[in-house]
Amino acid sequence: MTWIRVAAARAVLSAAESRGLDRVRLLAGVGVDSLPTDAWSLVPLAVHFGLIEGCVRQLDDPGFVIDIAEHVPVETYDVMGFAMRSAPDLATAVEIGQRYQSLYTSASLFEVKRSAAALDVWFRPSGPLPLAARCATESAVGQWLQVARQLAGTRLVPTYVGFRHKEPKSVARHRAFYGVEPEWSAPLAAIRFHGADAALPVRQADTSLHSFLLRAAEAALAEHRPLDSFVEQVRTVAAELLPSGKLDVAHVAARLATTERTLRRRLTEQGTTFLELRDTLRAELARKYLAEKALPIAEIAFLLDFADERAFRRSFQRWTGKSPAQYRSTLRDV
């Protein structure tokens, strides 16, 4: 399971309720009755993404991702957030976020590059971006600006904002929030702060408290154990390799620094095989990609590493009892 702290999902629901959406209906839409009450609890990343997508579809408003960003105080990030809030300056706070991000989510998130001229925060690319992933990425970029403004106590305006996907149908909210025109269809999702802004002092900087919180964060990181099973580790790597056409046991084993024999044995011990895992992954991604109606079925077949569209159709019929075109026709337009 790829996970994220429950506080992230709560922020989505808080933003949704501020827009008049029904919490129960949104949770039902992702197959959940309620969220855990313990702030340290985890939820599957698919639940978090599903909540975001459900909100955007109901509201029919691309600007809702900005609402989410505005509902995420730095305290949401727990010990990582408190260490950021007590840091001496903005750049140090951002670097703390990078170091301890694995305490907040098991998903790969962002990298930081600091220079005298700028502070760059950029997000690792991970294949095609269906609606949920696009919105979650926009929200994450917005959260970094919102958190930076909270820490510095001023309305910072970045020098650059970019997203990998195409421009949504309405971007007025984005322009107003960022203060700059975002670049769409950019190579990376990223936000850049001016070097002078990176050096701004954090409002609640506290040297003694900061030292204590860093020790606490380091202890948490040292005690942290990957919560994903070996099967989920393989799934994560497989999803990354799939669009490249290099999804085979040899490439996955190499990425996980193990042998093909060990990989097969460990999957068998956990009740599956590499072929079963690949088949399940393809079926899940096929449904997601078909929801993006602008994505041609032939391109989906290529992204899923099928020999041709005909082979993809046969497999999809086996998974769902429908052809890709029939399945797509049942999806509601958004």
**Residues composing the chain:** 334
Helix (H, G, I), strand (E, B) or coil at 105: strand
Helices (H), 153-271: 172-178, 195-198, 207-223, 230-241, 249-255, 260-269
**What are the structure tokens assigned to 283, written together?**
């079926």
* Single-letter residue type at 177: F
Q: Distance between CA 304 and CA 295 in Å, rounded? A: 13
Note the pLDDT of residue 127: 66
Note the pLDDT of residue 144: 95
> For residues 82 and 147, is the Cβ–Cβ distance under 8 A?
no
Distance of CA 258 to the CA centre of its chain: 27
**What are the structure tokens assigned to 28, written together?**
């039902």
- Domain boundaries of the chain, sorted by first residue: 3-223, 230-329
* Single-letter residue type at 230: F
Note the pLDDT of residue 227: 47
**What are the structure tokens assigned to 238, written together?**
């497989």
Note the pLDDT of residue 334: 42
Helix (H, G, I), strand (E, B) or coil at 176: helix
CATH class of 3-223: alpha beta
Note the pLDDT of residue 102: 84
The residue with tokens 């029939």 is 326
Mean pLDDT split into 10-residue runs, the chain, 334 residues:
84 96 93 80 85 94 95 88 96 94 81 93 80 91 96 97 94 97 95 96 95 89 64 83 83 85 82 87 88 85 89 92 89 57
Q: Distance between CA 196 and CA 57 in Å, rounded? A: 39
- Within 8 A by CB and 6+ apart from 329, the residues are none
Q: Distance between CA 294 and CA 290 in Å, rounded? A: 9
Q: Is the pTM of this model over 0.75?
A: no
Instruction: List Cα–Cα distances, 230 to 265, 269, 333, in angstroms.
Output: 11, 10, 37
> For residues 12 and 66, is the Cβ–Cβ distance under 8 A?
no
Q: Where are the beta strands (DSSP E) in 98-223?
A: 110-114, 118-123, 160-162, 189-194
**What are the structure tokens assigned to 257, written together?**
């620094």
- CATH code of the domain made up of 230-329: 1.10.10.60
**CA gyration radius for the chain?**
21
